[in-house]
């Protein structure tokens, strides 16, 4: 039972704190932020005053009925406060763990970044932007910044939760460091890029706490709609009192409707369910993103992720594994595949690159070739050189080489050989298919070609098919030539690609999509990605990337996993779907409440309305009380759904709407009938009807 409770609401500490916060949120200054629940709050005060007045004997209405309605109206307000507080509690729990990593740090400031020996000890809070600090092994990095000198292993577990250290070095896309992380080995000279209190860790804490969370456009629009509905119901209910008095005077029968019944009627007809849960849904959406190790710099970014219809994805590391791997041996006419594999294996023994290791793996897999003992032979390895564009080994008087076709052709010609036509054809075929051909030779004889390919990640094609079902277009971005890019795009199943991509080309592509009314998401980690990230609607910067990229994006992936973009889109869509589902359920709820409370409120004045009492409720007072109790209890019942989010499946918008109406629309009609009737029977059993 404890596990079920924890799964629904979180640990007991969060629940206890949320209960306390529910009462603190009764402050009118807080209540007024939610117009729907503020109206319920005022109604609760009004019925409380009526009940207190009744204690002085100034009313013919049953004090127990008024007290019962009043108590459950207050519960409605408290349950709404609890929903918001429980969502905030999950964020604050994560923020507290982050705060523990924020300690007072002494920084070693350098007057000259080249003179490491001359350092002044200062508090990290006194550092200014563009000042330099040196951080040695065992020390904590005092502020966010860029590495300008050195290379070191850094423990980022305080922020990312990953225990494995990462390498940070000057230059390239791994130069950004975060304040609060710790250097494990070697040293770094860091240029400070943020002021105290504005570090990435500070922003993370503020975001997960929700202190700076602003309502998104969709949420604001829905709040306006709910406020308008509330105002309409308020006007309608307010006119019922004079209308009731007039009817009683004219007909001479029935009773004038009471203020308590009018307040109950208003609360039951107003969209209180979604009004109570709206804020919790938004906060919970950001919490789910935080659990995925993504920090959103605004709620707007999370919502935009749900509306994205174009994804720009980097090829290397996102669509492909990141390193080209050997996939097959294509032997020349005068050689066999095994001869080619043996020579390629020998040429790769000293090759520690991913490509070189993959050649050895392929040779072992196809022909059982294993590492060879070279201690008894005379050999000399030739490392790869950009100038020669080949590598290999000279062993026992033989020269074995592997490399680019042109380089190998020049090499064998110098020895009196030539490049066979079938090898030349194989090279062209592999290149046209998007692969990289490596030609292998032994002395003056060309043995054949090794095909290296970008290996598309397993399951990525299916993920893209799901995105296509959701109406999202996928675009691969790569620096490869158009021929190679087309081959990878076809294999991966993306909808389009941008080859030979430059920062200007990425920016232009995003703007073109946005001019067409599309919402664009992309990932990036380098300074050259910053312009495009700043332009994209959802810009996910890698935590391992440069400071410029992180500042340009509106989300930061702490795991630095480019494929996380797909998960972010799912979370955004789940947020929108949850909000839509509960809105549908809330509005559908009102229909059942009409059949419960309207006949009860006007049965004496208009006996014909008794025919609407399809639930055959025990009495008018029981009907009103049952509806008010259900209206409050349903908020608590839906809190787990608001926190967890509605189950999302990658289907089209039409089918999604149909499912939404079927499950939450029809469900919203049926559940109140069952719930109100059940509560009525319980009240009757207890003798309270």
Cβ atoms of residues 122 and 109 within 8 Å: yes
Per DSSP, the three-state class of 513 is helix
Tell whether residue 402 is among the known ligand binding residues.
yes
Tell whether residue 389 is among the known ligand binding residues.
yes
- Residue 164, C-beta contacts closer than 8 angstroms, at least 6 positions apart: none
| Angle of CA points 486, 487, 488, to nearest 5° | 95
Strands (E), 15-118: 106-110
For residue 484 the two structure tokens come to 């190679």
DSSP state of 258: P
| Angle of CA points 522, 525, 527, to nearest 5° | 110
Q: How far is CA 18 from CA 11, 89, 582, in A?
A: 11, 7, 22
Paired strand residues for 363: none
Residue 55: closest CA among 44, 63, 46: 63
DSSP state of 663: I
DSSP state of 457: P
For residue 300 the two structure tokens come to 């707007």
Per DSSP, the three-state class of 559 is coil
Using CA of residue 24, residue 26, residue 29, residue 35, what is the dihedral sign? positive
Phi, psi (5° rounding) for residue 495? Answer: -80, -30
Tell whether residue 355 is among the known ligand binding residues.
yes
Number of residues written out for the chain: 689
Q: What is the C-alpha separation between 500 and 545, in angstroms, rounded?
A: 21
Residue 272: closest CA among 56, 42, 98, 92: 42
Q: Where are the alpha helices (DSSP H) in 331-386?
A: 337-347, 354-367
Tell whether residue 658 is among the known ligand binding residues.
no
Q: How far is CA 472 from CA 206, 256, 648, 652, in A?
A: 31, 58, 15, 10
Paired sense of beta strands 520-524 and 310-314, if any: parallel
Residue 529: closest CA among 477, 572, 472: 477
DSSP state of 140: B
Catalytic residue among 314, 480, 590, 680: 314
Residue 83: closest CA among 13, 42, 12, 25: 25
Q: What is the C-alpha separation between 596 and 679, in angstroms, rounded?
A: 12
Whether residue 202 lies in the annotated active site = no
Tell whether residue 390 is among the known ligand binding residues.
yes
Q: What is the C-alpha separation between 157 and 137, in angstroms, rounded?
A: 16
For residue 572 the two structure tokens come to 């955004």
Residue 127: closest CA among 149, 106, 152: 106
Q: Which helix (H) or strand (E) holds 620?
A: helix 620-644
Tell whether residue 163 is among the known ligand binding residues.
no
| Angle of CA points 4, 5, 9, to nearest 5° | 120
Torsion of CA 200, 204, 210, 211, to 10 degrees: -40
Paired sense of beta strands 182-192 and 145-149, if any: antiparallel
Cβ atoms of residues 314 and 562 within 8 Å: yes
Torsion of CA 648, 6, 162, 571, to 10 degrees: 20
Kindly list the catalytic residues.
Answer: 314
Binding-site sequence positions for Mg(2+): 525, 529
């Amino acid at each position: 039972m404890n596990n079920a409770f924890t799964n629904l609401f979180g640990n007991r500490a969060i629940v206890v704190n949320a209960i306390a916060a529910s009462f603190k949120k009764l402050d009118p200054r807080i209540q007024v932020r939610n117009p729907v629940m503020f109206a319920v709050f005022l109604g609760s005060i009004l019925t409380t005053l009526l009940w207190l007045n009744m204690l002085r004997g100034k009313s013919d209405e049953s004090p127990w009925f008024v007290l019962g309605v009043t108590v459950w109206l207050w519960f409605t307000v408290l349950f709404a406060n609890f929903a918001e507080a429980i969502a905030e509690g999950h964020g604050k729990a994560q923020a507290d763990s982050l705060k523990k990593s924020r300690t007072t740090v002494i920084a070693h400031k350098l007057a000259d970044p080249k003179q490491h020996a001359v350092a002044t000890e200062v508090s990290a809070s006194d550092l200014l932007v563009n000042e330099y600090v040196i951080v040695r092994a065992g020390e904590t990095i005092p502020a966010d910044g860029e590495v300008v000198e050195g290379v070191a292993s850094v423990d980022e577990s305080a922020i990312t939760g990953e225990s494995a250290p990462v390498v940070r070095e000057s230059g390239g896309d791994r130069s950004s460091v975060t304040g609060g992380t710790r250097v494990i080995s070697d040293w770094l000279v860091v240029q400070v890029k943020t002021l105290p209190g504005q570090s990435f860790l500070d922003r993370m804490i503020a975001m997960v706490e929700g202190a700076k969370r602003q309502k998104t456009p969709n949420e604001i629009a829905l709040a306006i709609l709910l406020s308008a509905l509330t105002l309409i119901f308020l006007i309608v209910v307010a006119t019922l009192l004079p209308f009731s008095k007039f009817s009683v005077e004219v007909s001479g029968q029935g009773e004038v409707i009471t203020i308590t019944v009018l307040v109950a009627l208003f609360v039951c007809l107003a969209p209180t369910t979604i009004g109570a849960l709206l804020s919790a849904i938004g906060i919970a959406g950001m919490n789910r993103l935080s659990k995925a190790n993504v920090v959103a710099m605004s709620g707007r970014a999370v919502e935009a992720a749900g509306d994205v219809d174009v994804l720009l994805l980097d090829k290397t590391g996102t669509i492909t594994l990141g390193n080209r791997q050997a996939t097959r041996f294509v032997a020349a006419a005068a050689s066999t595949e095994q001869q080619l594999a043996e020579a390629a294996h020998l040429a790769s023994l000293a090759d520690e690159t991913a490509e070189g290791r993959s050649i050895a793996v392929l040779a072992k897999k196809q022909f059982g070739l294993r590492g060879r003992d070279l201690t008894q032979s005379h050999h000399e390895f030739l490392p790869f050189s950009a100038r020669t564009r080949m590598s290999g080994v000279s062993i026992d008087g033989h020269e074995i080489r592997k490399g680019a076709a042109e380089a190998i052709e020049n090499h064998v010609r110098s020895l009196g050989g030539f490049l066979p036509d079938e090898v030349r054809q194989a090279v062209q075929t592999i290149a046209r298919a998007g692969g990289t051909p490596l030609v292998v030779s032994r002395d003056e004889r060309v043995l054949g070609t090794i095909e290296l390919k970008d290996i598309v990640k397993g399951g990525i094609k299916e993920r893209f098919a799901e995105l296509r079902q959701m109406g999202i277009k996928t675009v691969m971005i790569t620096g490869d030539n158009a021929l190679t890019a087309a081959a990878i795009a076809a294999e991966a199943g993306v909808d389009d690609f941008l080859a030979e991509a430059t920062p200007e080309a990425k920016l232009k592509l995003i703007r073109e999509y946005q001019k067409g009314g599309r919402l664009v998401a992309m990932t990036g980690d380098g300074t050259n990605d910053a312009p495009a990230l700043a332009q994209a609607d959802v810009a996910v910067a890698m935590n391992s990337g440069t400071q410029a990229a992180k500042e340009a994006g509106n989300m930061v992936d702490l795991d630095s996993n480019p494929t996380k973009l797909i998960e972010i889109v799912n979370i955004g869509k789940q947020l929108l779907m949850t909000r839509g589902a509960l809105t549908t359920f809330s509005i559908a709820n009102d229909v059942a409440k009409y059949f419960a409370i309207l006949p009860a409120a006007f049965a004496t004045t208009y006996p014909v309305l008794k025919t609407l009492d399809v639930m055959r409720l025990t009495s008018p007072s029981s009907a009103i009380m049952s509806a008010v109790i259900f209206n409050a209890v349903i908020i608590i019942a839906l809190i787990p759904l608001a926190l967890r989010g509605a189950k999302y499946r990658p289907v089209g918008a039409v089918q999604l709407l149909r499912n939404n109406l079927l499950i939450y629309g029809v469900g919203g009609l049926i559940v109140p009938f069952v719930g109100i009737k059940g509560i009525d029977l319980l009240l009757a059993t207890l003798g309270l009807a």
